[in-house]
Structure 1
Amino acid sequence: MNHPNLGSILLASTDPDRLRRWYAAALDPEENNDVGTYKALKFGATLVFIDTRADVSDKNPEPGRVILNFEVDDARAVVARMDALGVTWLAELEDRDGSLFATAIDPDGNYVQVIQLSDAAHAAM
């Protein structure tokens, strides 16, 4: 039996162009393309679609419900790029047993984690 693949995530926003620009600037996706009528940001094997929906508000009222985790090779460099954009941090960069974690808040109030796992953490997985 084949197992499902999480190929994409949809982030709904009242201002999808602004949010898409933020993710592109903050996290430097592999690709920043149009896919049919949709615009997609490609992060590894996962596409992030950002589109408008009538059933969402300007700010996420429960940002801890779903957190986007971006595993990076150099968390300090990514955090510095995000700092240059004026990102608001829920949790600044910290070392947790050799792995680095930081949690930013995107313009819609969603939580976005930057993670650089240690070699030991990778080996334990």
Structure 2
Amino acid sequence: MSATLGSILLASTDPARLRDWYQHALGAHVSKDGFLMFGEVAVLIEHRDDIAPAPAEPGRVIFNFHVEDARFAAAHLTKLGVTWLVELEERNEGMLFGTLEDPDGNYIQIIELGEAYQARIRAEMADVR
């Protein structure tokens, strides 16, 4: 069996607030069906009565947003007043990572892939062919 991940449902007690935040904070485009589009990944934020306002284990699922300029993205998010769990830092192969909370308390990361990392991945993909 083979499956394709078609979309993600993100439940919230205040979906309008969360949807607006993702649009302003990360530039999501909204589809006709109300999905937030991040490239080819569709996220539907929907109201649920069977959840708490904040997640009990916010690190269980983390959305990783790849950005071209992590420093710019971090400055933009800071202006919006986000809570940083891990401020932007450089990691292996020149990658920049930052971990923050969305308004519901879900963890998200912004990631800028370093040139060294990208070169290694390109080389590995060439070896597979």
Output the TM-score relative to the length of structure 1: 0.90
Q: Match for residue 33 of structure 1?
A: 31
Q: Match for residue 47 of structure 2?
A: 52
Amino acid at match of 1:90: L
Percent identity for Structure 1 against Structure 2: 53
* Superposed displacement of residue 120, structure 1: 2.0
Q: Deviations over 1:6-60 (max 9, x none)?
A: 221110000000000111111012x22331xxx2110011011100112111011
> What SS class does the counterpart of residue 99 from structure 2 fall into?
strand
- Which protein has the bigger helix share? 2
Aligned residues: 120
Separation in 2, partners of 1:32, 1:80: 24
Output the TM-score relative to the length of structure 2: 0.87
Q: Match for residue 16 of structure 1?
A: 15
In structure 2, the CA distance between the partners of 1:6 and 1:124, relative to structure 1 (3 Å rule), is farther
Which residues of 2 match residues 1-125 of structure 1 at below 5 A?
Answer: 3-29=2-28, 31-35=29-33, 39-97=34-92, 98-125=94-121
> What SS class does the counterpart of residue 34 from structure 1 fall into?
coil
Larger Rg: 1 or 2? 2
Ranges in structure 2 where 5+ consecutive residues have no aligned partner: 122-129
Cα RMSD of the aligned pairs, angstroms, is 1.3
Which consecutive segments of 4 or more residues in structure 1 shift more than 6 A?
A: none
Separation in 2, partners of 1:53, 1:82: 26
Separation in 2, partners of 1:81, 1:88: 13
Ranges in structure 1 where 5+ consecutive residues have no aligned partner: none
